Structure 1
Amino acid sequence: MQPHCTRAEFDAVVELLARAFVDDPFWRWLCRPEDFQVRLRRGMAAQLRHLALPGRVDHIPGVGAALWSPPGQWRLGLWQQLRFLPDFAAITGLTRLPGRLGGIQHIQQLHPKRPHWYLQVLGVAPDQQGRGHARRLLAPVLALCDRDRHGAFLETCEPDNLPLYRRFGFEVIREDRVTADGPPIWLMWRPPPL
């Protein structure tokens, strides 16, 4: 397990995450359907480059990855948003861009105000699922949460993920929709230890 991603590993992590999220309702909503696979890979590369690499990437080569933002670092500043915009427009398509940006902004407003680690993405390759890899990918940061008494937060649009995250102490704190025409989304919180 590695808590970083080198330049040489970047493309492999992107490909792995694109395989893991090929049927994900959020990414299906976000990406323009034409050339979906290309847009999904670009989305994962942009997420990794602009959001995760300033934070923490735990990955098991060929198996899976967890992309985290440490407390206080999940929100992008104006300069970071501007750097992300060309990728975001390519992912969504220009005509869908305003609605997709509005959906992202809506979800960001629902983040807990307390300091927390933010799990941006947890992806395990389809042929590796059900083998305990999620535990291996989540354990290092959840141990930091416990040590430093921080909460952990995530969103998922996949209802099948809810039992998995509950096993690690996350509970649903809100159910919403990304947008009126978007998928349902569950916001989950793992409280800090008492």
Structure 2
Amino acid sequence: MTVSNHDLLVRPATTADAGPLIGVLAEAFHEGPLADWLIPDPADRRTVYYRYFKDAVYHGLEHGQVYTTGDQTAVAIWYPRLEPAPVDTRSRLATLEHIAGPYAPKFVLLEEMFDAFHPDEPHHYLAYLAVDPTRQNQGIGAALLADQHRRLDQLGLPAYLEASNMRNRRLYLRLGYHAGPTIVLPTQGPVIWRMWRGAPTSGGRSPFPRTRPHRRSL
């Protein structure tokens, strides 16, 4: 389904959109405390991020829901998580080692921490939201989210995400998310804010669910 939100066209992405959307993700996430922690060298980061987000886009197109704008300047990658998702740990470890090389251990640690604190309650998971840096602060990301939020409210489902900086945390709070317990990455890593937009209820929205950390080993 294609949706027009004022002057912004929001539509499902296809494989034909992959190239531009990989670039949007790599550029949008290139700066910030998480990027600095994952790959301190900016030149190496650009190379690794392109490979990492290429994997993310194609995985989202195959297994999730990917939305973009008419001009391909923004992208959202969602995954329905109606039950706990199994993870092929050996395959993922091999993929991360191929993508990140010497930086793979921190990518492994990041994904392991995210998985360990992921809620079990049925929801849709916003894995990535990115807007071309030259088009940020124009309400594009908020419009892209609003499109999915309408669908989730119709389904009676909540949404979950991790925010990696205060700017994004403030955006999600404005859009109806609530902050839950944080994740603090080890080895002097940054704080990650776990965010929850509850399902509509007669009294408002469902609260942030209790999460029992579950471990997996990569």
Do the two structures share a fold, i.e. TM-score over 0.5?
A: yes
The 3 A distance-change label for structure 1 pair 22 and 58 is same
Q: CA deviation at 1:73?
A: 7.0
Alpha-carbon distance in 1 for matches of 2:186, 2:86: 21
Residue in structure 2 matched with residue 62 of structure 1 by the alignment: 72
* Larger deviation, residues 25-34 vs 155-164: 25-34
Q: CA deviation at 1:140?
A: 2.2
Render the CA deviation track for 1:49-107: whole Å, top value 9, x for unaligned: 224541111111332111100123784531xx54444441144324x434532332122
Q: From 124, 135, 142, give the equivalent of 1:128.
A: 135
Q: Does 1:147 align with 2:147?
A: no
Q: CA deviation at 1:190?
A: 0.7
Alpha-carbon distance in 2 for matches of 1:47, 1:74: 19
Alpha-carbon distance in 1 for matches of 2:28, 2:92: 22
Q: CA RMSD in A?
A: 2.2
- Report the TM-score when normalising by structure 1: 0.87
Alpha-carbon distance in 2 for matches of 1:58, 1:186: 23
Alignment of 1:62-141 (within 5 A): 62-72=72-82, 75=85, 77-78=87-88, 81-94=89-102, 96-141=103-148
2:18 is matched by which residue type in structure 1? F
Alpha-carbon distance in 1 for matches of 2:173, 2:122: 20
Alpha-carbon distance in 2 for matches of 1:27, 1:87: 19
Alpha-carbon distance in 1 for matches of 2:63, 2:199: 23
Alpha-carbon distance in 2 for matches of 1:72, 1:24: 31
Alpha-carbon distance in 2 for matches of 1:77, 1:161: 27
Residue in structure 1 matched with residue 18 of structure 2 by the alignment: 10
* Larger deviation, residues 176-185 vs 156-165: 176-185
Residues 31 and 40 in structure 1, CA contact (< 8 A), matched pair in contact too: no
The 3 A distance-change label for structure 1 pair 52 and 157 is farther
Alpha-carbon distance in 1 for matches of 2:84, 2:29: 21
Q: CA deviation at 1:108?
A: 1.2
Q: Provide the secondary structure at the position in 2 that maps to 1:2.
A: strand
- Report the TM-score when normalising by structure 2: 0.78
Residues 182 and 193 in structure 2, CA contact (< 8 A), matched pair in contact too: yes
Alpha-carbon distance in 2 for matches of 1:32, 1:90: 18
Q: Does 1:47 align with 2:56?
A: yes
Instruction: Give the number of the structure whose alpha-carbon radius of gyration is greater.
Output: 2
Q: Which runs of 5+ in 2 are unaligned?
A: 1-9, 202-218
2:36 is matched by which residue type in structure 1? R
Residue in structure 2 matched with residue 29 of structure 1 by the alignment: 37
The alignment-based identity, stated in percent, is 28
Q: Which runs of 5+ in 1 are unaligned?
A: none
Alpha-carbon distance in 2 for matches of 1:19, 1:92: 17
Q: Provide the secondary structure at the position in 2 that maps to 1:114.
A: coil
Q: Number of residue pairs matched?
A: 190
Q: From 174, 178, 183, give the equivalent of 1:176.
A: 183
Q: From 193, 196, 205, give the equivalent of 1:189.
A: 196
